[in-house]
Amino acid sequence: MKNSRTLIVANWKMNMNVSQSSILLHRLHERIRIRREIELVLAPSMLALQPLSMQIDRRKFRLCAQNAYFVDEGPFTGEVSFSMLQDLVHYCIVGHSDRRHKFGESLEVVRDKVAASVRNDIMPILCVGETAQERKAKETNQVLHDQVVTALSNLTSSDIPNIVIAYEPVWALSAGSDYAHHEIATPEIIANAIKVIRHNIAELYGKKAAADVRVLYGGSASSTTARGILETEGVDGLLVGGASLNYQEFSGIIDAAYRMQTSSEVNNG
């Protein structure tokens, strides 16, 4: 059965040292109340994961890695495996556009990371999305198909409830490689992309699996745009980048998610 809680993930990317990360966590803890309607996940740098795991209030927050390597152990100098992260994180971001376009991660590498994440009982947050050039060439549906189908190809149907997918159109990311083309994705664009994602999952694993998978939107969400995005059909939460580094702005996003959840409960009550 689908998790009805709104999932908000803060991707801090390569920002802040351990001390600064600790201060931001403290400020978020002060401002954010425990909300049963919202699952809040923080993805600090790899260096900050362990110290923050000692500081974090697990009633409010879960931890997420930004990346990991798909082999569990061996002569891979400088890498951190999913198996090493098992005791620290609940989630791991896989296939983020930064990794695909700046570090050259192929469809096959993303596939192997998704499988390694699930194998090690860490829930992957699989990022998919098209560039401005691909969108202009009307290749969005094909890009989403290739990214989703390849990434999930080593999973069984019983694995599918243990993944999250984030649609992040590269052209809508404020610090994306297509920065010059940065624009806001409309609810219609987001809803259509998520329909394509769920259709691809349904083709592989059936309609129930497709409906149950949580799908997030990632693309320059802010406290002013969060509610409108969350009210878009098919959206189960947000993957937040730059705005998550500002505790006031990020708290505003959480507040918007809470208001949206509580108003929908009243309307459905």
Active site residues per annotation? 96, 168
CA distance 41 to 194: 21
Token pair of 57 as six digits: 């209030």
CA distance 255 to 241: 17
CA distance 103 to 97: 9
Cβ contact 52:42 at 8 Å = yes
CA distance 234 to 127: 16
Place of tokens 């080593």: 154
Cβ contact 249:223 at 8 Å = yes
Query: What's the gap between Cα 185 and its chain centre?
Result: 17
Name the β-bridge partners of 46.
Answer: none
Residue 14 has what DSSP assignment? S
CA distance 62 to 174: 25
Cβ contact 51:22 at 8 Å = yes
